[in-house]
Amino acid sequence: MAVDTRDKIVSREEATRRVAQARAAGRKVVFTNGCFDLLHAGHVRLLEQARSLGGFLALGLNSDASVRGLGKGPDRPLVPQELRAQVMAGLMAVDLVVIFDEPTPLELIKALGPEVLVKGGDWPVEAIVGADLVLAAGGRVESLPLLEGLSTTALAAKIRAGLDKKPGG
Residue 49 belongs to a domain = yes
- CATH code: domain of residue 113: 3.40.50.620
Strand order across the 29-34 sheet? 96-100, 56-62, 29-34, 116-120, 140-144
pLDDT classification of 165: cutoffs 50, 70, 90: low
Distances in whole angstroms, Cα of residue 62 to Cα of each of 22, 66, 95, 104, 107: 23, 5, 17, 8, 13
Taking 60 as the threshold, does the pLDDT of residue 127 lie above it? yes
11-56 per-position pLDDT tens digit: 999 999 999 999 999 999 999 999 998 888 888 999 999 999 999 9
Residue-level pLDDT at 1: 62
Residue 144 belongs to a domain = yes
Distances in whole angstroms, Cα of residue 104 to Cα of each of 13, 22, 46, 70, 90: 18, 24, 19, 9, 24
Give φ, ψ of 97 to 5 degrees: -125, 130
Structural domain of 38: 5-164
Residue 169 belongs to a domain = no
pTM for this prediction = 0.86
Residue-level pLDDT at 37: 86
CA atoms within 13 A on the CB side of 14: 10
Taking 70 as the threshold, does the pLDDT of residue 147 lie above it? no
Q: What amino acid is encoded at 54 in this protein? A: G
- Considering its fold, how many domains does the chain have in total? 1
Give φ, ψ of 28 to 5 degrees: -80, 135
Residue 38 belongs to a domain = yes
56-113 per-position pLDDT tens digit: 999 999 999 999 988 877 888 989 999 999 999 999 999 999 999 999 999 999 999 9
Residue 133 belongs to a domain = yes
